[in-house]
Amino acid sequence: MDNLTIVAVVSIFTAGITIAAGVVAPALGEGRAVSTALSSLAQQPDASATITRTLFVGLAMIESTAIYCFVVSMILIFANPFWNHLITQAGGK
């Protein structure tokens, strides 16, 4: 295998692992946050506005982790910085 093939295989594998971990972990975190918020709402319905607002802010923060992982995987697949480096090295020979 040449260097470009190795970089392609490693980039695709890394993108897959990144998106897998970046989707599973935030999904578990969001599920736990919603579960806890619903439990809190059941115990204290008078504080529903505060709990709901805090829940949505927390969910946005958790979801940003998944979005960052998605962006990293898209960069690895479509705008890989290692490709340009290898192509310039191959063209310079």
CATH, residue 49: 1.20.20.10
In 5-42, which positions are buried (b, 16+ CB within 10 angstroms) versus exposed (e)?
A: eeebeebeeebeebbeebeeebeebbeebeeebeebee
Residue 85 has pLDDT above 70, yes or no: yes
Entry pTM:
0.73
Mean pLDDT of 12-18: 92
Residue 73, in any domain of the structure:
yes
Taking a C-beta distance cutoff of 8 angstroms, is the pair 33, 59 a contact?
A: yes
Residue 35, in any domain of the structure:
yes
Structural domain span for residue 26: 3-88
Residue 38, in any domain of the structure:
yes
Residue 9, in any domain of the structure:
yes
Provide the domain count of the chain. Answer: 1
More confident: 17 or 3? 17
Residue 93, in any domain of the structure:
no
Instruction: Please name which of 27, 10, 8 lies closest in space to residue 67, comparing C-alpha atoms.
Output: 27
Residue 45, in any domain of the structure:
yes
> How many Å apart are CA 26 and CA 23, to the nearest integer?
6
